[in-house]
Copies of this chain bind each other. A is one copy, B any other.
Amino acid sequence: MAEERLSRVFAALADPTRRDIVARLAGGDATVGQLAEPYGVSVQAISKHIKVLEEAGLVSRSRDAQRRPCHLEAEVFDLMTGWIERYRRRAEERFQRLDAVLAAMDDTQDNDQQGVAS
């Protein structure tokens, strides 16, 4: 189900270290060791982070001898922007309808008692 995928992706990006990993992978593929180097944590910890990103579909790994190069799967971004834009648009439409109502009230404000309090 798409809900499950959305939850995984959002949860994956809720961690600053994982967001940073995604940011760096956007600039090019990298091995676990290379990714782990900048942070003051163990390689195992980063390996776990990458696993989370992988299960969210944000990262895929191939094989090169002992190395496991990580690759960003940018299409997953569409899942998020799709969700976000849907509700942003809905909220915006509602906002515009509210605007229309206020404008209508404004047009008739000298005919009835209800002014638009500032």
Instruction: Select which of B13, B19, B28, B87 is within 8 A of A23 by beta carbon.
Output: B87
Query: What size tier do the contact residues of chain A reach?
Result: 20 to 34
- By secondary structure, the A interface counts as helix
Contacts of A3 in B (CB 8 A): 16, 19
Q: Is the CB of A15 within 8 A of B7?
A: yes
Q: Which of B26, B28, B81, B92 contacts A81 (CB 8 A)?
A: B81
Q: Are B72 and A77 in contact (CB under 8 A)?
A: no
Contact assessment for B27 and A94 in the assembled complex, using a CB-CB cutoff below 8 Å:
yes
Q: Chain B residue with minimal CB distance to A90?
A: B26
Q: Which are the 9 A-B pairs with shortest beta-carbon distances?
A: A11-B14, A10-B14, A26-B87, A74-B91, A26-B90, A26-B91, A10-B13, A77-B88, A10-B10
